[in-house]
Amino acid sequence: MRYVLFAAAAGAVVAAAVYAVTVSGRAPVSAQDFVNLQQGDSIQAGFRRAHAKGFCISGEFQASGELAAYSSAKALQPGSYPFIGRISIAGSNPTAPDLRAPVRSLALTILPDTVHQWRTAMNTPPVMAVATPEKFYQQLLAIQSNTVPQFFADHPESAHFLQWRSHYQPTQSYATERYHSINAFYLVDRQGKQQAVRWTALPLTDEAGVIADEEAADALQQEFFSRLQQGPVRFDLQFTLATAKDNPADATIPWPESNLQLSAGTIVIEQASVQQEGACNALNFDPLVLPAGFAPSADPILRARAAAYAESHRRRAREVLMQQVVGGANE
Amino acid sequence: MNKPQTYPLAMRVMHWLMAALVLSLLFAGLTMVKSLGPWQQQLLAWHKAMGLIALLAIVVRLIIRLRSETPTLPASVPNMQQMAAKLTQLGFYLLLFVMPLSGYLMQNAAGRPLSLFGLPLPALLHTDLALYGLFREIHGWAALLLVLLIVVHSCAALYHGLIKRDGVFRSMVRK
């Protein structure tokens, strides 16, 4: 009996050691590695580690019901549903100049505070340059070490991304950009039947933005806020349905224009506020917060986005908590 | 009044089932916060559902404990160790409540909907970044404290079972 117990204890120690080595040593890239790389050397306490610069928006999503046959999700049944959202630019600097950012984003939480809530974080590029988190990590390293051309040359799957980038012209307003889900998802109907989809927010105005001051860091934010004073900003939320030829797990390849496209409804942005005072600041726009009627695709980038966003959320929440504790003590 | 030599069957069963559940939850939790792997989401969903079951289990266990006669440590155990044993037990009961409650509340503060096997669960907190920070940190640090407590507890149990052989280990296994 004594030896059996010793053997069990020794086994437990070995198992713990193996676990420690596999998780901390061999694991290629962790969520912490990703966020460490994104935040860089100068930590901006309380801000998102990626897409730190942005502002909160709110309004309603007017669902057309065109996708109701494909999904049981409440947000896709005909009706009007409130949302909290955020418009942002890529990068870890919360005071970066709007007009210099390579990527712009529109994120939404439709039907917040309910079990039906649907979060989506959409970006201006329609595809990723690479298909896995490990390669995306290498891409971020290449950006930091100024070896991006070499990185793209070594990764031929980036061809579609490069083609998009060579044609892309940033507009003078967040209201006239196209924002893409990038990753694919499944719509699930009441019988459990799945249909792979991607979606894009298409601007419903082509009215060019009037930039009051090209040098202002907040140039696009100012333009959007003054545009909202004239009335709501609208986007058409268009879904593209995959065919058997499309691979939902690969975000580097665009789907053909000939695929069936359906309008899920209209995103009506009614209000905007600076992010520190807005409801969006507490939210992590994790694209895997999906209601019944949606399911994630097997795209590994999608899973990695959720894990990295969670780590970023933890860090800035801890910083805001400490600021409040210290601030409270000083009052 | 004579104290029993062993823990009642209900407590022994709860002890070992919860040991397995809590160890799995801890390993799952410590792994999933790091991993970018495709199974991470599945593990997360499992962790949340099992965490809620662990909350129900600790409530049931506390009720059983309060209604049971439990064995006392033998007089041969020094006073300091008796004290340490009591503190460890108290620590376990506290942490086994703190873990699932902080997990639940941090989801509330993050504005994420929770459900157990399809049944929606109420949000007890409003969405708030600092509150999320508070409960997220409590959840993370309490997990590490719980791991530490399990190591201490296991070492003490093995010491009694293998070296002292004074019936303390047997009170939770009874061959």
Tell me what ipTM this predicted complex has. 0.89
> Minimal Cα–Cα distance from A184 to chain B, Å?
14
Number of neighbouring beta carbons within 10 Å of residue A132: 20
Task: Say what the pLDDT of residue A331 is.
Answer: 57
What whole-number distance in Å separates Cα of residue B24 and Cα of residue B41? 16
**Tell me, what DSSP letter sits at residue B161?**
I
pLDDT at B118 over 70: yes
DSSP code per residue over B125-137: S---HHHHHHHHH
Task: Say what the pLDDT of residue A227 is.
Answer: 96
Half-sphere exposure of residue A330, counting CA atoms within 13 Å on the CB side?
Answer: 6
Task: Say what the pLDDT of residue A247 is.
Answer: 97
Mean pLDDT of B118-145: 95
- Write the pLDDT tens digit of every residue in B72-92: 888 898 999 999 999 999 999
> Minimal Cα–Cα distance from B63 to chain A, Å?
31
pLDDT at A35 over 60: yes
Give yes or no for a contact between A293 and A187, defined as CB atoms under 8 angstroms apart. yes
Does the beta-carbon distance from B36 to A31 stay under 8 Å?
Answer: yes
A2 touches chain B (CB under 8 A): yes
Closest CA to B44 of B25, B67, B68: B25
Picking from A32, A291, A318, the nearest residue to B137 by CB comes out as: A318
Closest CA to A82 of A234, A262, A267, A292: A267
Task: Say what the pLDDT of residue A317 is.
Answer: 95
- Which has more pLDDT, A174 or B70? A174
> Minimal Cα–Cα distance from A30 to chain B, Å?
5
Does the beta-carbon distance from B38 to A300 stay under 8 Å?
Answer: yes
- Which has more pLDDT, B69 or A70? A70
Give yes or no for a contact between B169 and A20, defined as CB atoms under 8 angstroms apart. no
pLDDT at B70 over 80: yes
From chain B, pick out residues whose CB is under 8 angstroms from the CB of A85.
Answer: none
Instruction: Please tell me the pTM assigned to this model.
Output: 0.90
Which ranges of chain A does DSSP label H, i.e. alpha helix? 2-20, 31-39, 133-144, 148-154, 159-167, 219-230, 300-330
Phi–psi pair at B118, nearest 5 degrees: 85, -10
> Minimal Cα–Cα distance from A258 to chain B, Å?
30
Mean pLDDT of A64-73: 97
pLDDT at A73 over 70: yes
Phi–psi pair at A179, nearest 5 degrees: -120, 130
How far separated are the first and last CA of chain A, in Å rounded?
Answer: 63
Mean pLDDT of A60-88: 98
Phi–psi pair at A193, nearest 5 degrees: -75, 135
- Angle in degrees, 0-180, between the axes of helices B40-67 and A300-330, rounded to the nearest 10: 50
Task: Say what the pLDDT of residue A23 is.
Answer: 56
DSSP code per residue over A288-315: T---TTEEE-S-HHHHHHHHHHHHHHHH
pLDDT at B2 over 80: no
User: A104-110 and A79-89 as β-strands: parallel, antiparallel, unpaired?
Assistant: antiparallel
Mean pLDDT of A106-112: 97
Does the beta-carbon distance from B158 to A304 stay under 8 Å?
Answer: no
Phi–psi pair at A274, nearest 5 degrees: -60, 150
From chain B, pick out residues whose CB is under 8 angstroms from the CB of A31.
Answer: 33-36
Task: Say what the pLDDT of residue A12 is.
Answer: 67
- Which has more pLDDT, B2 or B50? B50
Task: Say what the pLDDT of residue B117 is.
Answer: 80
Name the average pLDDT for chain B.
92
From chain A, pick out residues whose CB is under 8 angstroms from the CB of B38.
Answer: 298, 300, 303
Mean pLDDT of B129-155: 96
B120: nearest CA partner in chain A: A115
